[in-house]
Amino acid sequence: MWKDEVLEEIYRIREDHAKAFNYDLKAICDDLQKRQAVSGRKIISQPLRQSRQQHSKARSRIL
């Protein structure tokens, strides 16, 4: 079986990070948001794209 070493490392890092916060999702998210804020990187946020079906329904209501 083929193993992707990069993915294995990502999974290990993610598991270690979650374990450090006792798998508390709120604490994990708070930490990630804090890291994001101090990173100094420009954050680009885009609105979620609608599926074609949702888009069609929205257009039909307008027309």
Record the pTM. Answer: 0.60
Count of domains for the chain:
1
Integer distance in angstroms from the first to the last C-alpha of the chain?
54
**36: Cβ–Cβ under 8 A, 6 or more apart, which residues?**
43
Judged against a pLDDT cut of 80, whether residue 59 lies above it is answered with no
Residue 34 in any domain: the answer is yes
- Domain-located, residue 16: yes
Residue 29 lies in a domain: yes
Residue 28 lies in a domain: yes
SS3 state of residue 29: helix
pLDDT in tens, 17-48: 999 999 999 999 999 999 999 998 888 888 87
Quote the pLDDT of residue 1.
78
| Res 58 pLDDT > 90 | no
The DSSP code for 46 is -
Q: Is residue 52 included in any domain, yes or no? A: no
Whether 59 is in a domain gets the answer no
